[in-house]
């Protein structure tokens, strides 16, 4: 296993408590098989030539290693010296495994000659060499180690190739377990993210991803220099993302307690290290080694505080961080001089991380399950309300236009669903005048006005707000609608032509579809005028959309002019009366259907339209049975 820079972090934590013991002794290959033997290695940090380093006078300058793993920072050459002793009566071959950091140049010398050059490359990633030792003899080796970065000497040897393969198989099994758990964790959270879309799931997925990347580097699975350089940075980023997950999962922003500021302090610590790492990775790792255990303990304290406040699922988070704290402590102890930690696995931190991962997943799953239960109960409780809402939607569709209903469903206010500015358009004012008793034709009159209202709705488009007309009022035997505002006129027509054609269709419907029911029972007079129209919503409740403006008043006046006694001969039966400005705006083919009447000759003036000298009428003939004055 390549412990890479992570081991620097762990060793730095224990350096202060380790005492220096300089004992010159050979390494008995029978006693230390499969173990780190850093305490049997002498080292010297000087840039020396091989002859200078192997000079017997330099022997006293070498220092004995203080721990099983030797960590070095900076870019100085490190000379190592160790002696192997074969206590057996037969020659022994040992398999020396010498993993080290990327960019490391390692040369091994025996009896003054270079034994092997171990430049780091992908093809020699395991860095295993065979050494043969004669029976009952010792061999001394000098190793020249140079790396431009911080690195760790984590060497082991085995007496047989079979045992070496067993070690590789064990390491492979552990890594397969780690990556299986990590991959399943990511896959599980991705599925949950698709379903629930919670931010804490994103943080946790990213945290696991960076930790797996760090494991690849720590286990020596990558030979790429850039990848290895980013390995320690990924551990820092992984710790930062785990803190973000803690904040989001426990919803610390919502409560804004002291724990939130404590968590933000941890975030600031990791963020500064991530920014410092590209400039000085050694300093960043040193600070991380000193501060990360404290940050982990503070995270455990935050979880414990939430447990005391009985926040949901906080105890699961607490157990997870407790496992991480215990794992980190045992990992540190494993590489110290304390005998009580000698039996602890070198993978203890990854085992602890696996346990912590289980509890963190349980906490996340319980939280999402609680959310799903709350949502289900809410849906059950709102079942009747949904039914009522559907009924309300049907009623809204009877009161408002489809675009208004859609806008209000999307959260817009009612007052923003119709134009409220001043526009220009044409107004059609229709009045049915009964010729006698209307009790027996009341329903027919209502159906006729409904038919005219439906005609206004033709070609309605909720996206472009177009329609043949906007039905403003329908009161008793009267209908008022506008053309051109607030709904625009469909493409290919002018508002004036559309208004006059619609008025003519109102008469045609009366004559054709309602001929048998209303023939000789009513007369229909329609006034058409143009001008400004303003849309607005009422300021008091209930809020309704209303129109105002000169065009509305003028249309009503021109409709009533049809009843003037001096026009009795010109307008008989049903009739349409056009304002002069309307007549001038319509197509010549339509103009040919209308008769001009000079208002000045008749001495008639239209209020608020003193410039009107003429009006234009179209008469559909007098009823055959009842007269207008009946």
pLDDT at 108: 84
H helices then E strands: how many in the chain? 19, 20
Query: Which residues are CB-neighbours of 425 under 8 A, at least 6 positions away?
Result: 482, 483, 484, 485, 495, 530, 533, 551
Instruction: Give residue-wise pLDDT tens across range 547-557.
Output: 999 999 899 88
The mean pLDDT value of the chain amounts to: 79
3-state helix, strand, coil in the chain (%, to 5): 50, 20, 30
pLDDT at 62: 92
**Residue range 337-352: mean pLDDT, rounded:** 68
Contact 601, 613 (CB under 8 A): no
Contact 36, 156 (CB under 8 A): yes
Residue 19 in this model has a pLDDT that exceeds 90: no
**Residue range 413-435: mean pLDDT, rounded:** 89
pLDDT at 14: 38
**Ordered DSSP codes for 178-209:** HHHHHHHHHHHHHHHHHHH--HHHHHHHHHHH
Q: How confident is the model at residue 4 (pLDDT cuts 50, 70, 90)?
A: very low
Residue 132 in this model has a pLDDT that exceeds 80: yes
pLDDT at 335: 57
Q: How confident is the model at residue 566 (pLDDT cuts 50, 70, 90)?
A: low
Residue 106's DSSP bridge partners are 145
For a pLDDT cut of 90, what percent of the chain falls above it?
A: 12
Range of lowest pLDDT (151-165, 263-277, 467-481): 151-165
- Structure-block tokens of residue 40: 């049997």
Residue 482 in this model has a pLDDT that exceeds 90: yes
Instruction: Give residue-wise pLDDT tens across range 155-203.
Output: 888 888 888 888 778 877 877 888 888 888 888 888 878 877 888 889 9
**Residue range 197-219: mean pLDDT, rounded:** 84
Instruction: Give residue-wise pLDDT tens across range 497-506.
Output: 999 999 999 9
pLDDT at 509: 87
Q: How confident is the model at residue 496 (pLDDT cuts 50, 70, 90)?
A: very high
For 25-127, strand residue ranges (E) read 27-28, 42-45, 63-64, 70-72, 78-86, 92-97, 105-110, 113-117
Q: Would you give the DSSP letter of residue 466?
A: B
Higher pLDDT, 341 or 264: 264
pLDDT at 337: 52
pLDDT at 527: 93
The H or E element spanning position 528 is strand 522-537
Residue 383 in this model has a pLDDT that exceeds 70: no
Residue 587 in this model has a pLDDT that exceeds 80: yes
Instruction: Give residue-wise pLDDT tens across range 315-337.
Output: 787 888 888 878 777 766 665 55
Range of lowest pLDDT (258-272, 277-291, 402-416, 495-509): 277-291
- Structure-block tokens of residue 502: 């619609």
pLDDT at 67: 74
């Amino acid at each position: 296993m390549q412990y890479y820079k992570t081991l620097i972090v762990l060793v730095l934590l224990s350096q202060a408590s380790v005492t220096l013991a300089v004992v010159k002794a050979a390494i008995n290959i029978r006693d230390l098989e499969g173990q780190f033997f850093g305490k049997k290695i002498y080292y010297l940090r000087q840039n020396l030539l091989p002859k200078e380093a192997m000079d017997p006078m330099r022997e006293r300058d070498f220092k004995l290693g203080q721990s099983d793993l030797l960590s070095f920072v900076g870019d100085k050459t490190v000379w190592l010296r160790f002696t192997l002793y074969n206590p057996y009566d037969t020659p022994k071959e040992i398999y020396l495994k010498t993993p080290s950091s990327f960019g490391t140049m390692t040369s091994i010398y025996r009896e003054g000659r270079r034994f092997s050059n171990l430049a780091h490359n992908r093809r020699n990633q395991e860095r295993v060499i065979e050494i043969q030792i004669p029976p009952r003899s010792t061999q001394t080796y000098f190793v020249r180690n140079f790396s431009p970065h911080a690195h760790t000497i984590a060497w082991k040897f085995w007496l047989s190739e079979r045992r070496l393969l067993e070690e590789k198989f064990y390491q492979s099994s552990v890594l397969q377990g780690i990556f299986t758990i990590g991959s399943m964790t990511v896959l599980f959270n991705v599925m949950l993210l698709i379903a629930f879309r919670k931010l804490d799931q994103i943080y946790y997925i990213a945290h696991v991803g960076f930790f797996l990347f760090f494991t690849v580097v720590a286990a020596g699975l990558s030979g790429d220099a850039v990848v290895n350089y980013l390995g320690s940075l990924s551990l820092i980023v992984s710790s930062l993302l785990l803190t973000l997950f803690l904040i989001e999962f426990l919803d610390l922003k919502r409560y804004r307690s002291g724990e939130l500021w404590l968590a933000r302090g941890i975030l600031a610590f990791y963020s500064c290290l991530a920014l410092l790492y590209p400039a000085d990775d050694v300093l960043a790792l040193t600070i991380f080694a000193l501060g990360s255990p404290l940050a982990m303990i503070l995270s455990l304290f935050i979880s414990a505080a939430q447990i005391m406040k009985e926040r949901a699922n906080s105890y699961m988070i607490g157990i997870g961080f407790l496992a991480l704290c215990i794992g980190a402590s045992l990992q540190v102890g494993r590489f110290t001089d304390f005998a009580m930690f000698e039996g602890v696995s070198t993978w203890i931190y990854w085992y602890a991380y696996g346990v912590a991962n289980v509890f963190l997943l349980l906490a996340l799953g319980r939280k999402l399950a609680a959310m799903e239960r709350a949502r289900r109960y809410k849906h059950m409780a709102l079942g009747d309300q949904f039914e009522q809402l559907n009924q309300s939607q049907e009623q809204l569709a009877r009161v408002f236009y489809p675009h208004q209903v859609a806008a209000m469903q999307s959260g817009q206010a009612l007052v923003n669903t119709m134009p409220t500015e001043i526009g220009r358009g044409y107004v059609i004012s229709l009045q049915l005048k009964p010729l006698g008793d209307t009790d027996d034709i009341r329903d027919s009159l209502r159906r006729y006005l409904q038919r005219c209202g439906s005609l206004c709705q033709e070609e309605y488009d909720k996206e472009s707000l177009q329609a043949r007309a906007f039905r403003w009022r329908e009161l008793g035997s009267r209908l008022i609608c506008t053309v051109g505002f607030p709904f625009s006129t469909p493409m290919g027509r002018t508002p004036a032509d559309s208004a006059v054609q619609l008025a003519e269709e109102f008469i045609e419907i009366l004559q054709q579809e309602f001929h048998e029911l209303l023939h000789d029972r009513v007369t229909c007079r329609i006034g058409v005028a143009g001008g400004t129209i303003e849309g607005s919503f009422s300021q008091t409740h209930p809020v309704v959309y209303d129109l105002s403006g000169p065009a509305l008043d003028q249309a009503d006046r021109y409709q009533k002019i049809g009843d003037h006694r001096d026009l009795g001969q010109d307008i008989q039966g049903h009739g349409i009366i056009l304002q002069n400005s309307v007549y001038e705006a319509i197509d010549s083919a339509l103009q040919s259907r209308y008769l001009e009447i000079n208002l000045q000759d008749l001495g008639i003036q239209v209020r608020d339209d003193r410039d009107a000298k003429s009006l234009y009428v179209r008469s559909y003939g007098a009823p055959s049975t009842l007269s207008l004055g009946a």
